Amino acid sequence: MKNEIVLLIIIIAFLAFLMIVKESGNHVADPYGNGKDFHYVLRATGSDEESFVGNLTKLLEEDIEDFAKGDILLILGRLKNDSSVICDSVTYYEKSLPVDPEQGAVIHETIASLDCGKDVKDHLLKASEMWKAAGSVFRSELDRHLALNETFTIETDTRELPEFNLTIPDNPESIIIGNSEIDLGKHDVLVSQTDRVTRDWLSYQIFSSPFQDSGPGELLTEYELNRKNLLTTFSERLTYDDEELLPEIGWHEGARIREIRETGLTHKTASGTIVFNHEGKWYAPDEEGVFRFEVPIDKVLYPTTRFLRDDIAVIIDTHGINMIVEQAIRNNATVVVGCCDNPGKIKAAMYLAVKGIKTICFTDKYLPLILGSGFEILGSPPIRREGDIVVIGDRPLEFETNETFVVMGMAGDKFALSYYDTPKIYFDQLSESIDLDIEHVTIDDFDQMGRIIEKAEEIGSNAVAVRVFTSQDYRDLKGWLEADEKRRAILFHSVSYPYGYRIMKEFPEQTTFDDINPLIS
């Protein structure tokens, strides 16, 4: 009888072991990320996924930070739908500890979200303590609620942008565009997005942790000058030749921040932004944990995003002013730099402006929606150095109210063409306050600046509102400006790109920028 009992115990134990093995084999890592479309951005941008995976895999062989290796494995595991590769990332995240409280909190949230045999509750509680140490009370409380599986309420404010009106005198005769200015020096604190600044996953430039900062007075390090930490070319480098790429000028926020950093100001990248899905849309929070600022779905579906719940995620590679509000306020920023190509990003820039924090939107598609607001927010502004400071904006050009403006707009759904619509958005807003003679010209593909120039010459206009992106845009506009010094161009969504930057530099007396506070008299 005793032997039979022993045998029965052995059988039960063996069956239990088999069940554990079976469950382990069927375990799906990344439970809340599983099923999300992490191929979305690759598909939308026309990227070759096989090539992307191959190049990202090669990056694992390079001398890069452990946090970056963890992110690369996470991306690869998600794209391949391979739980074992996803869980391989955890080793590298663990090797990144211990670090400062903010980065440590995000690492613990990451490990908890992937559910690879680690104690989820313990990691969320550790994240909670670290957020408290970092100074984010609402984030600490949120992680604690998640750890203890408690019911809690998340506050939202999804109100849309308010309407503004320009102050227009009777019988106005002139408009000055470009008078707005932001001066930056070594005592300023700049908080920026991470994407297209220190990392760019789409062009497999993930060399480091997303948490990077420079202290006051600290100039670019040799590492950053080698463009491995402060990036200046992105996915364009994969397809453009040097003539079109102009790497010496550089692209996007990374290249422009590099120039601003020459002042020795403090620069911090914002990462680990929590977002919440409310009624089918995602929102990022203010400093109190009120989720106000809409985040486009493509940014939520970056393959580096962590999901703590189906409706709660942590965005690592932040992209836009809407994702850096909490960090800007917590770090006492005086200025922020990020994308403004979404109304939620403009709402965030307004929120920061009310709190005295200036915003520079080198990409500015929807900034004209708050024309006349009076806020210190600049769109696609020029940059120049004056002694120890960098002057942003300050490019006043005067126009008569009775002259004809030839304004660029776009039609079609080709990827990235929509930014050519920014001039039209601006003048549509301006026309609601003042009666202007506007000649609209629509493009439906790249390299069609000639249409605007042709119309301007046909009707004898000396004022155009355009976007400069390609070398062809640059050549066409340059030829027109050179032919007559009375000709002027208002440039939108241009300074992020090398040819837009170049034409601003070459024609300081004939070009200006997206100024939401024009002076009308």
Does residue 471 contact residue 448 with C-beta atoms inside 8 Å?
no
**Distance spanning both ends of the chain, measured CA to CA:** 105
In a domain, 284, yes or no: no
Each residue of 23-44: pLDDT tens digit?
Answer: 444 578 999 999 999 999 999 9
* Secondary structure class of 447 (helix, strand, coil): coil
Each residue of 350-382: pLDDT tens digit?
Answer: 999 999 999 999 999 999 999 999 999 999 999
* Secondary structure class of 417 (helix, strand, coil): helix
* Secondary structure class of 312 (helix, strand, coil): strand
Model pLDDT, residue 19: 42
CA gap 28, 175 in Å, rounded: 61
* Secondary structure class of 169 (helix, strand, coil): coil
Model pLDDT, residue 2: 57
The count of C-alpha atoms lying within 13 angstroms of the C-alpha of 296, restricted to the half-sphere facing its C-beta, is 16
Q: What is the CATH number of the domain that holds 513?
A: 3.40.50.2300
Each residue of 426-435: pLDDT tens digit?
Answer: 999 999 999 9
Question: Which neighbouring-strand residues pair with 291?
Answer: 156, 285
Residue 339: φ, ψ to 5°: -70, 145
Entry pTM: 0.93
Structure token pair of residue 200: 């760019």
CA gap 124, 132 in Å, rounded: 12
Number of domains in the chain: 2
Q: Which amino acid is at 316?
A: I
Residue at which a domain ends, from 129, 147, 165: 147
* Secondary structure class of 39 (helix, strand, coil): coil
Instruction: Scan for tokens 């090398």, then name that residue.
Output: 498
DSSP string covering 369-402, please?
A: GGTT---SEEES--EEEETTEEEEE---EEEETT
Structure token pair of residue 234: 């992105």
Positions in the chain whose pLDDT score sits under 50? 6, 13-25, 222-228
* Secondary structure class of 294 (helix, strand, coil): strand
Instruction: Scan for tokens 């045998």, then name that residue.
Output: 7
Instruction: Scan for tokens 């009375």, then name that residue.
Output: 486
Q: Return the closest-CA partner of residue 496 out of 455, 515, 454, 468.
A: 468
In a domain, 451, yes or no: yes
Residue 511: count other Cβ atoms within 10 Å of its Cβ.
24
Which helix (H) or strand (E) segment holds residue 458: the answer is helix 449-459
In a domain, 186, yes or no: no
In a domain, 287, yes or no: no
Q: How many residues does the chain have?
A: 521
DSSP string covering 317-352, please?
A: S--SGGGSHHHHHHTT-SEEE----SHHHHHHHHHH
Model pLDDT, residue 99: 86
Q: Return the closest-CA partner of residue 401 out of 174, 176, 178, 177.
A: 174
In a domain, 184, yes or no: no
Structure token pair of residue 227: 């463009």
Residue at which a domain ends, from 114, 147, 180: 147
Where does residue 416 rank: exposed (0-12), middle (13-18), buried (19+ CB within 10 A)? Answer: exposed
- How distant, in Å, are the alpha carbons of 198, 249, 301, 491 from that of 473? 28, 17, 32, 11
In a domain, 15, yes or no: no
CA gap 419, 196 in Å, rounded: 17
The count of C-alpha atoms lying within 13 angstroms of the C-alpha of 310, restricted to the half-sphere facing its C-beta, is 4
Model pLDDT, residue 18: 37
Residue at which a domain ends, from 106, 131, 147: 147
> For the chain, give me the number of helices (H) and strands (E)?
18, 23
In a domain, 493, yes or no: yes
Model pLDDT, residue 98: 87
CA gap 378, 24 in Å, rounded: 54
Does residue 186 contact residue 265 with C-beta atoms inside 8 Å?
yes
Model pLDDT, residue 212: 86
Structural domain including 49 reads 27-147
CA gap 315, 514 in Å, rounded: 29
In a domain, 76, yes or no: yes
